[in-house]
Amino acid sequence: MHANGIESLWSMLKRAHKGTFHKISSKHLDRYVQEFAGRPNMREQDTIDQLRSLRSGMEAKRLTCKALIKDNGLKSGARAVA
C-alpha cells in the first residue's frame, strides 16, 4: 500500500468516527481498522460476490455479547488514554 492509500484509509476511518460510530474505543480499534482496510479490496466485486465473501469470513466466528463487553483490565474500561 502506498502513502496515498494509507492516508485514504485513515481519512475514511475518521469520517466514520464522526458520521457513523461517534465513539471508537481503543479496545475495539482493531475491528474498526480491519473493516475499513477490507473495503477497497471488495470494491470491484459484484454485490453477490461481496455477500459471499462476507458470509465466508463470518463462518465459525462468533462475537458474543460477553466477549464484547468483557473487562479489558483498565480502570476506565474501554476508555484508555493514548
- Label each residue of 8-76 as H, E or C: HHHHHHHHHHHHHHCCCCHHHHHHHHHHHHHHHHHCCCCHHHHHHHHHHHHCCCCCCHHHHCCCCCCCC
* Interval 25-46: pLDDT, tens: 777 788 888 877 777 777 788 9
Q: Report how far residue 45's alpha carbon sits from residue 81's, in angstroms, rounded to the nearest whole number.
A: 39
Q: Which residue has the cell 480502570?
A: 75
Residue-level pLDDT at 48? 92
Other Cβ atoms within 10 Å of 13 Cβ, number: 17
Residue 53 in this model has a pLDDT that exceeds 70: yes
Domain boundaries, the chain: 3-68
Q: Report how far residue 5's alpha carbon sits from residue 2's, in angstroms, rounded to the nearest whole number.
A: 5
Whether the model clears a pTM of 0.95, i.e. scores above it, the answer is no
Residue-level pLDDT at 3? 80
Q: Which residue has the cell 493514548?
A: 82
